[in-house]
Each structure stands twice: as structure tokens, then as C-alpha cells.
Structure 1
């Protein structure tokens, strides 16, 4: 077996960003129905895949019910008692509470169905946030808690920055399949171009907690903070459906993100010394298949955009091996990518973590092949809304939301503009506005934090409308704001009518 595994490892340790041909057996896959096959790969966790698929179906069904419901109600809007009937229908079918007074229509003032559609999208998203999906599906790895494993591999906290592109909306739960227990921070930026100073503050908050409380482990423990940057590319339309922030150039996207990771590492060394060095990892995602490239660091910690282990190649190379032999092949591939022996002790922790991500992603590669015939039908953008402010991880699904983290529009203007440009191009042909949710978290233990969060949410919403005033004036934007306690309690919607004079209905999830 070792010869076969080593051959697979060498094939999987790619030496250049390339656009793969369709998977082997593509013609046979194309002829299949969307029903999943009985599992094939020994490392694919089908229990997790099925649970994630059911979750995706529930989310898709919730949003899919909006347009048919409004289409059914629209012709009846001038009938007697319509407002009460519409409010009851929206509650029964969409589980949204919209006051009947906001649904009153007359022949001189018909309902603004465009605005109502946007409010239903925003309200449905907020309702699903409070749905409390089980996000700990991948908590155990071969019977051991994932957080215990990553500490054994030499890491005590993980900070993930994916691109804000909605096709990475499921990066942690679906693509990487890592449980929330091992992710200390997750913020999205256009092109994954994170703020280095903000990442330094993330590190400082984790280290202060380690010194004060010994969590997640003691400050003197020999573990590191791991920063992961996630870029993306398209294998179907590489020049058109890659990262918009980098002109659909995956080499440019990977290179810019690697440079930013190196800047973070240098900032940590300069500010806190070599003893506080962090670990960094670069990952690429093919948004057409959800397969990943892991740019495994070498013995010095250096990464190269031309050197990576590819989960799609590994899937094909190991699908027919026994489970333990498939694991060995992945470990060999990672070691070959790092340029070290498979038993190298110095690089073992990072290599095993990279293998963990590749193994997890094999389950997603198989799920896409099972339920989507190998590749998603929508290579481009079909996001339903934009989320600005603090990240929302509670509801994850590919192409669900473009997420742009910012405290002010000034600092996140570029990300916001990219998101609005993308969603406006998708929504405009249907004469629908772009729904935007300003989402701000606060610590309820801090006096006055809730009031400050509400003020910030109002300012963010107002600044968005001011920056894109022309589009808003044409009914092309619909902005809502919510605040939420950091303990994960219910969302509190903010009434923006007083600050913007917007008479559109307030949606309460």
C-alpha cells in the first residue's frame, strides 16, 4: 500500500495553481439524478453530510417560500380585509410578524411589493439566526473532541478570515467542517484582505484570557494562535467567476492574501517578540466544487502559492483505499507538500492539522458530487442579502449572504461597494432591491453596551443609505438593523423610521 499512497501523495501535492478538468467519470455523473449514492469514500462522514443537507434544504425552503407567497397575495391587495389576511398568511407561511397596518393598500397607493420582498428576506434571515441550528456536528474527530486535538497539534485558538463572497458563506460548517469550539474569530473581507491591526487585537484578547483564566489553556503552554486566510477561485469560469476583489485572478488573490498573512506574522514579531510568534495558513476554495487547496507550510513555516495539497485530487486518489490507508495517503501528501519526511517531528502539528482539514473537506467534495452532480449549477453569485457590521455564523449556506465586517462605512467602504455591485447586478433584472442587514453585537455585562450598539447600528444604516443615496432613492436598497448580545440571545430589531423617515414595514423575526 505504501507505494500507492506515496504515488497518490505526490500527485496531490500540486506545484502550481491550475484549473482542473472535470472529475473522472464526469459524463457518468452528469447523467445521474440528484439522489445521493450510497457512500463511496472511506473518510467521508455521511452522517454529517446528511445533516448539513437537511439544514440546507430547510434554509432554501424558507427563502424559496417568499416569492410564491407574495405573488399569491399581490392580486388580492385591494380586497376587503386584505391587510389582516395578508398578515396572517405571512405569519403562517413565512413565520414573520408584519403588522396589518403596514399591509393596507388602495388603488391610489398599492403595496410596495419590492420593499416587502426585501423585508421578508431580511426577516427570514433573522428568524433563521434564532433557529439555533446544531453547529457542533464535527465536534468529535475519531471519538476525540476537536478542541483537544488542535491543542495537541500545537494551537490554542483559530482566527479564520474568508473572502466576503457569498459562495464562502458556508466555509466553516460545510467546506472546512470545523466546529465553533475551535474558532475564536471569523470575520469576512472582500478578497479576504483582513485588517492586520484587528487580528493583532484578536490575539491580544485571547492571550489576556489565557493569562487571567487559563482558557482555552494555560498561558505557558507551548501552543500558538493560528490565523487562516481563505481565498477562492472558479474551475468552471476562472476568468469571470473568481474573486471580484482581485479581478477573477486566483494567482493575484492567493498572493495578496499570503502577503497579508506574512504582514500579520511580522507585526506580531515586531510588537510582541519572537516568543509570541503565530502560525499562519493559506487555503483556497474552488467555489464550483467546494474542494480546497491547502498551502502547507514548509519546515520554516513558509508558504508558496505554487505549492498546495488538493482535496479533489486526494479524493480520487484515495476513494478505493481502506480507511487507514486513505489517512496515510493524505498524511504523505501533506508531508510531500511541506517537503519533509512523513515522520518529521518539528512540523507534525501543522501537518496533522492540514490533514484534518483535507479529510473534513473530502466529505464536502463527496456531498457536492452526490447532490449537485459534481459541481454547483450556479457558478456565479445568487446571494440573497448583505450583512455588514459584526459577522453572522449562525446560518451558513453557499451563496446565502455577502458578509462584510466593519465598524464604520468609511473603514469598510470598498467591501460594501463590492457587495452592492454584485447583488445589484443579480437583483436588478428582477426589479428587486438589495437587502442589507446591519448587525452589531454587544457584551451585556458592560453597562451601556446595548445603547452604544444600537447607536452604532443606526449610524451604520444611515451611512449606507447616504453613500448609496441614488440607488436607495430608486428603491434599489432596503436596509434593516439589529443588535444582539454576545451570549447569543434573541436579536433586537432597531426601528430606523425615526432616523430615515422610511415608511416601509418593520419586520420582526
Structure 2
């Protein structure tokens, strides 16, 4: 956590403007360029620090949105800089603890560097023993998270054209796009960055290995069908639109044997196979329960977390998703680099149409849209990260546990563990704790966990139940990871939010010291 991040000495403010979105045009077919993977595991590269591709200049690719990329980069840098300022600031404060006027100087430094003051009681006790840096670290991470959330919901920097995309989605024949990426923090930006989709329209639920909860997805499907039948939204029940369930698994092109999906042993083949099996199980569950499997469509996407290039798996001759056949966005990027915008758009749509076989025209349009959107992200990584992220491994700042986290749309910011209870998400949590044992605990820093439950304010008693969920999960976390908690190596923040009203988060308390948050706010 300490070695590979850009540090900032100032500003905790986020001020990028809202980037625009667009559905994108379509064009004519051309010769197919489907990649057929023989399933062989790629050899480990001799030097994983080398960049495979030559960086491009801003706006060089005709389909890339250079202005949006600049805005997204500014947002990413400002946000992560605020989190990454915590450690260097605390190091400075640690060096002051035995100097005269320590408390005043420490508070002034924290206010200047981080944008908030520190708990006075922790500073006041420093003269007796050593300054409790673990509590201070957790406090600062939680305060920074709260500032990040407040700013996100107040300014909505990642807002896109939600209505336009919903209309486009319906035109493609889908009323719901439900995406389950891996809980790995390197996929936390898959909606707003990698796929450039409006996060308010797309449903996202992250799980370790992208092995999503089938019952949860069936419940959501049922809810959407009832909403269509009773309210006629987003489409009426008599319209032949479908529910599209998508899995995004991941792999590392630079270090495939070590930096792939931990839940699948860094084996891209296993990750893809697991995602496909989960998709089929969901479809079967709906068919067996409601006899209407035709209303479910499936999509499988692979993401190279080193470069953010996606691959979309195409169907075989029987119409089933084929793990060995896919369109690679990075290859499409290179193939269309010297074309005009219209030619590049037509070329990509042509590849999808040729490879898609019997896929519906709507599915072809949506796949083309995602591949075209990903072109901007590929250029983003090539331009701003020299073609490959420096932190190709884990570098998350905190674990998010519970239900919510709409605001987290940035790579390597959060490891997700969606849950109602700790028991049901034990495997996901254990993966997260293992990640943070290497990132934080190995440096004698605690694992910061934000326990979050969003609720619908119009439902009687929903807020009270959300608070109860927070307290129950918080207690269960401390019980499950008792050794870490008793050593001060695990701290939690309890948060709720009325998602129906679009409100900011509401802090309920923290293991650092609950009443401090009330005093500070």
C-alpha cells in the first residue's frame, strides 16, 4: 500500500467536471477478426515491468474521447491523492510527537495536508506513551472516504446521459443491464471507466471471482419483471425486451501466473469458465422457476487489468458463449488506429456482426458499443499510464462491506464484499483480508473496512433496519477477525445512506472512537 502510489502534499478536493457519454454510431460489416484461443496458458514474461505497447498521444485514436479522458484522469488523480496523502502526513506528525506545542502543530499539519483535524484525545494521550498511529491511520482513511462520498453525491462528477443510454439499451432489446465483476479492486472502475457506461443505469454487484449470488440475481430479475408488469418501467411487460446478465472476469497480461484473479488461482481459463457456469446457472434458475428463459440473455467479458482492454466472448455455431472465441478490444484499437472515425466505427461493428453468428442485431449493437467505448479507456491507459498500470497488482485503500458503494468507480480504490451477513460472504471477506494483510498489516497498519448499508427511505423502518445491519455485520467482522481487531489491525466505519432520496452517506460510528465522528460533524 505504501510503495507504488503517487503522493500529494495538499488538497483533499475533487473538482473534475462531468464527462459526457454517447451511444455511438454503427456501420457496415467487414471481414471477421475473431480470436480463437487454444486455451494454452501464456508463458510468464521475462520482464513484467516492460510496457508492451507504444503510448499514444491525446486524441490520436479516432474513436477515443480525449476531453473525457482528461476529465477522468483528473478525477482519478485528485481522489487517490487524497487517500495517499494519509501516510506521508502521519509520518510527519509522528516525528513531531515529542516536540513542544505538538497538538497544535499536528492539527495544523493535518488540516493543511488532509483537509480535516485529527481526534484531539488521541493526540492528547501521546505524551504518556507513543502516538497511536494505527487508530490515526484508520481515522484518516475513514475521514477521507467521507469527504470523497460527500463530494461525489454533491457534484456527481461521473454523471452521464442516463436517459439516452436507457433508450439505447431498450432499442437493443434489453430493459436491464446487470453486471457482476470480480470484487478485486482493479475492476472497481469497470462501469464508469472501462465500459464508459452511466453507473445510475447499470446494476453492479461485485463478488470474488465474479461468482455472483444466483439467488440475488433471480430476486432482481423478479423485481424488474414485476415493475414492468405493474408500472410499465423501464418497458411494459408486453414489450419483447430481455434482462441481460453480464460477468466480467479478469486476467493479467503482464504477469498472468501471479496477478490474475486470486479467487481462481490466477488462471484466466478457470476464471472465464467459472463466470460462464454461473451465467448458465442463473439462466437455468429463471427457466426452472418461471418458465421464461427466453427473457434472459448472457454476456461474458474478460478484462486485462494491466491495460483495461476487454475481450467479449462470442457464440459458437450453436449460439452458446464460446470461451475460445472472442473479440479483443486492444487488437481492434490497433487495427483502426489509422482510420477515420466513421471507418473505425464501421470496422468494429463489422467484426461483431461477422463473429456474432445468430446473435440478435440488438446484441451486436450493444457489443459494438462496449468495444468502441473501451477504445477510449485503452487510450487512457496508454496516454496517462504508459500503456500499463504501474500497480498491476493490488493497491486498494479500503474494503467495502455490505450493500451500496455506488460512488466507488475508481480502479484499486476498494475491494468489495457485497453481503447481508458476514457468514454468506465469508469467502469474499477472507480474500479481502488476505489482500490487505499484504498491503497494510505487513506494514503494521490496520485493515480499514467501511460497513455500508443503503436503504429506501420511503419504506417504513428501512433506516432502522439498515442501522441494525451495520451493527450486526460490524460485530461479526470483529468476531471473525478477532486477532487483528484486538491488536488494532482492523478498524471499521459504519455508514448508511438513503439511496432513494439521493442523500449523502450518514456515519453511524467507528471502531476508532464512535463519538469523535459526531463531534467532528
Root-mean-square deviation (CA, aligned residues, Å) is 2.6
State the alpha-carbon separation in 2 of the partners of residues 28 and 136 from structure 1: 30
Q: Distance in 1 between matches of 2:299 and 2:130?
A: 54
- Superposition pairs for residues 4-23 of structure 1, below 5 Å? 6-7=30-31, 9-10=32-33, 12-16=34-38, 19=42
Is residue 360 of structure 2 the alignment partner of residue 347 of structure 1?
Answer: yes
Q: Secondary structure at the match of 1:105?
A: helix
Pick from 161, 176, 180 the counterpart of residue 139 of structure 1: 161
2:340 corresponds to 1:322: yes
- Higher mean C-alpha deviation, range 217-226 or range 231-240: 217-226
CA shift at 1:329, angstroms? 1.4
| Structure 2 counterpart of 1:77 | 97
State which drifts further: 164-173 or 330-339. 330-339
> Is 2:442 the partner of 1:442?
no
How far 1:27 sits from its partner (Å)? 7.3
Count of residues paired in the alignment: 485
Taking the aligned partners of 2:51 and 2:367, their CA distance within structure 1 comes to 31
SS in 2 for 1:304: strand
CA separation of 1:503/1:6 partners in 2, compared to 1, >3 Å: closer, same or farther?
closer
1:86-97 maps to which residues of 2 (within 5 A)?
86-97=106-117
Q: 1:314 to 1:505 in 2, by over 3 A?
A: same
- Unpaired runs of 5+ residues, structure 1, are 341-345
- The 5-angstrom pairing of residues 386-465 of structure 1 reads 386-465=399-478
- The residue that corresponds to 1:343 in the other structure is none
Per the TM alignment, residue 274 of structure 1 is displaced from its structure 2 partner at its CA by: 2.4
Contact 2:96-2:106 within 8 A present in 1 as well:
no
SS state of the match for residue 120, structure 1?
helix
Over 3 Å counting, the alpha-carbon distance change for 1:170 and 1:375 in structure 2 is: same
Q: Is the 8 A contact 1:135 1:173 kept in 2?
A: no
1:117 aligned partner: 137
Match of 2:77 among 35, 54, 57: 57
| Structure 1 residues 14 and 505, CA gap change in structure 2 (3 angstroms) | farther
Distance 1:91 1:297 in 2: 56
Q: Identify the residue that residue 255 of structure 2 maps to in structure 1.
A: 237
TM-score, scaled to structure 1: 0.89
Please name the residue that 1:40 is paired with: 60
Q: CA deviation at 1:89?
A: 3.8
Q: Shift in Å at residue 78 of structure 1?
A: 4.0
Greater mean alpha carbon deviation, residues 276-285 or residues 455-464: 276-285
1:489 aligns with 2:489: no
Q: Measured at CA, do residues 37 and 28 of structure 1 come closer, stay the same or move farther in structure 2, by a change above 3 Å?
A: farther
Counterparts of 1:206 and 1:365, CA distance in 2:
33
Give the 3-state SS of the residue equivalent to 1:409 in structure 2: coil
Q: Please give the secondary structure, in 2, of the residue aligned with 1:69.
A: helix
Structure 2, gaps ≥5 residues long: 1-27
Match of 1:192 in 2: 210
Give 3-state SS (helix, strand or coil) of 2:425's partner. Answer: helix
Q: What residue in structure 1 maps to residue 8 of structure 2?
A: none
CA contact (8 A) 2:80 2:413 kept: no
Other-structure match for 2:278: 260
